[in-house]
Structure 1
Amino acid sequence: MEGHWDLPGLSVVSEGVLLISKRCSLQNYYLPARCAPSLLGAEGYFDAVMASPELPEPRFIEVGYVDDQQFVRFDSARASPRMEPRAAWVERMDREEPGCWERNTRRNKANAKGSRAGLRILRGYFNQSEGGVHTLQRLFGCEVSPELTFKRGFFQFAYDGQDYLALDTETSTWTAAVPQALNTKRNWEADRSIAERDKAYLEQECVMWVRKYLEMGKETLQRADPPYTRVTRHTASNGEVTLRCRAQDFYPADISLTWLRDGEEQLQDMEFIETRPAGDGTFQKWASVAVTSGQEEKFTCRVQHEGLPEPLTLKWGHPPHSKRPEGGLGGGGRGVIIAGVVIWRKKNSGGQGWEGVLREQAPWRSWLPLPHSLSFCPQVLSFPSKGLSAGP
């Protein structure tokens, strides 16, 4: 995101994945390694609707995340679409509050209809034909302070991978990112209850749910798995030597990998990948540095992670640090949720099928804490009843 659309602690990477930092605000980084630890939180929902010639009707998906972990999911393409628990700790919700899952299933079915209607309206605004692949995304969320009080909220829409509209929570008005969004802005600002409802959700209910989720899923969410780390050496065809510092099997995702030469940081000369999910609830990352052959011993990799009692210092040719876990999640860390509904930023599908686009664009993390509970059943915001049209 750029300009007005940069949100503290949130960035969009090449795969189209929305990343929300759980420690502090860095505009363009997923891992705030230089930030002091603090307990933040968020409850997050990701909504995605895509129209494609391959599909009989636009497919709507919602995925909820708590502290990097998926905990609920809805997919309109299933034979019998319903809001489903995706984590063991959330399955008891229906016992605590009967009808919870059914209510959220009905709400998501309504959201699917609303977002499909929005997709049709936006195609008209942008003078697009019925064919082709089009996406509508919605993201709303909140961030809390270390004291678990509301800090900021955000509510955004994107269309075909481009920012479209965002809520200014201070003024309860909508900011249009493109001229076509002025239609929706005028419509929604004519009814102030839309912005006021969304703002109230972000500042109150969103913040309220995290604490409940952190308590419910504390054995999974409040843990710290240390990284399995090692250094490897690679020689390119031109003879250039690279040392790569690898970390994997760690949780939570925040980690710092720094190369040093004779004790001095080599930040300008480092290359790295953003932290990535491993698919098993843990994460992985690497950082590399080019070296002169024969000078490898001058270089060390420093690894910092909250699962480690102290930072690790690694060298090439030395055995890896930490044993790879035998399975299970273990540990005890900190939690966050982003409250929200997203409709993901669309990456050029390059001729891929629908499933390929979904895999590349699916979000995988979100967070946030709450003070007290109104209702045990998570409430998902409905699509605005006025849709995206310009009329009354």
Structure 2
Amino acid sequence: MITTILISFMQFSIVAPHSLHRHCIATQGTLYPKNIQLVMIDDVIVYYYNSSAEQEAVVPEWLNHPEGIEFWQEVHRNLKFNRYVMDTAVRVTSEHYNHSHDHFYQAHGRCGWKSDGTTEAFMSHAYDGKDFVSFDVSTRTWTAAVSHAVFYKRKRETDLEDLVRLVIHYESGCIRWLEKLLEFSVTVREPKVPAVSLFERPPHGNSKVEVTCHVTGFYPRAVQVDWLGAEGLPMVDGVNSGEVLPNGDGSYQLRKSLTVPQEAQDTQSYSCLVLHSSIAGNITVTWAPKKNLANVLMAIVIIVSVVLMLTVLFKYLVWRRAVAQNPE
């Protein structure tokens, strides 16, 4: 068991990579907002703009200091120019397809560090939810995902100023943003230790018991949860895992359930093992089998009955002795 846990922890404790994401959407028609922009560091929102809102993007509280505001304004200027790029993209693409009414154009840019410490960056575009073009930063080339996107690929390739802008941003500017944001967002990315609890319920229509390990309140998002059997090995059969879901306070939660067959309920115990970067070791909570309630109640009834009978017999013997010593 110790070896299994140690191997699992060594695999999990590799330094998690960090990344910065830019999500942009431009639309035509009346069904959607005209422009939406979102910047995130890992899972923390840095910048959010929605053209249908009555105000511009707002500086997040954790950036509300002189250096942070100056940096945020740089991001704001960059994305304000990007609105023009996105509005142009949806317009020329809709014209190329001869589309009218409601259509949308999406862009996703990402840069960051991989687990080995090297950097990576990419950008991909979609039209009406389908892959359209992508930009390879290392080769400085655009690739069309569909034949109809070749016109847009050529349009972006012939704009040398635009090409230089993209390369500079994704090779250096984006990583600089990421470094700055990791520095500024320390307080909102503080690790939170998970709380672990077990609860059980019998599934309808059979004698199996479902035991759920509820892990909640943790940050960052990455977590490893395993059900361990009698030999301390991770179980697969009978295990059902939910998704990692956000809580309202910026932390996350996960549920992983184990179905225990009837024949194992009185003899086997199982443990829920939780590994998370906020703790040096692990959190282990054990589910122990419970004896059949009917048998327990029967045993209690028998014991109480025997005690009552002995009490009555003792009182009767005392009474007989008293009568024998004091005859009328």
> Which of 252, 264, 270 matches 2:239?
270
Q: Secondary structure at the match of 1:188?
A: helix
Paired residues, number: 277
1:325 corresponds in structure 2 to: none
Matches within 5 A, 1:172-251: 172-221=140-189, 223-239=190-206, 240-251=208-219
1:65 pairs with one of 7, 20, 40: 40
Q: Conserved in 1, the CA contact under 8 Å of 2:137 and 2:171?
A: no
Structure 1: runs of 5 or more not aligned: 1-31, 319-392
1:42 aligns with 2:14: no
State the Cα distance separating 1:153 from its structure 2 match. Answer: 0.7
SS at match of 1:38: coil
* Bigger radius of gyration: 2
TM-score for the superposition, normalised by structure 2: 0.73
Alpha-carbon distance between aligned partners in 1 of 2:254 and 2:10, rounded to the nearest angstrom: 13
CA contact (8 A) 1:83 1:104 kept: no
Distance in 2 of aligned mates of 1:205 and 1:156: 18
User: CA 1:124 to 1:273, structure 2 compared with 1: closer, same or farther past 3 Å?
Assistant: farther
* Preserved contact between residue 201 and residue 210 of structure 2 (Cα < 8 Å): yes
The corresponding residue for 2:286 is 315
Between the aligned partners of 1:255 and 1:171, the Cα distance in structure 2 is 35
1-structure distance, mates of 2:194, 2:29: 41
2:62 corresponds in structure 1 to 89
Q: 2:270 aligns with which of 292, 299, 314?
A: 299
**Distance of 2:49 and 2:66 partners within structure 1:** 16
Q: CA deviation at 1:74?
A: 1.6
Check the 8 A contact 1:33/1:254 in 2, yes or no.
no
Whole-angstrom distance in 2 between the partners of 1:229 and 1:142? 34
CA contact (8 A) 1:42 1:206 kept: no
> Pairwise CA RMSD of aligned residues?
3.0
Number of the residue aligned with 2:89: 118
**Per the alignment, do residues 207 and 113 of structure 1 end up closer, same or farther by CA in structure 2, a change over 3 Å counting?**
closer
1:225-248 CA deviation, whole Å, 9 max, x = no partner? 111111222333232532222111
Correspondence list, 1:359-370, <5 A: none
Maintained 8 Å contact 1:33/1:255: no
Q: Which residue of 123, 126, 137 maps to 2:106? A: 137
Query: Residues 47 and 210 of structure 1: is their aligned pair in 2 closer, same or farther, counting only changes over 3 Å?
Result: same
Q: Which secondary structure does the structure 2 equivalent of 1:63 belong to? A: strand
With normalisation by structure 1, the TM-score equals 0.62
State the one-letter code of the partner of 1:40: P
The 1:293–1:59 alpha-carbon spacing in structure 2 relative to 1, beyond 3 Å, is farther
The share of aligned pairs that are identical, in percent, is 23
Match of 1:261 in 2: 229
Q: CA deviation at 1:113?
A: 4.1
Unpaired segments of 5 or more residues in structure 2? 1-8, 290-328
Query: What secondary structure is seen at the aligned counterpart in 2 of 1:287?
Result: strand
Structure with greater proportional helix content:
2
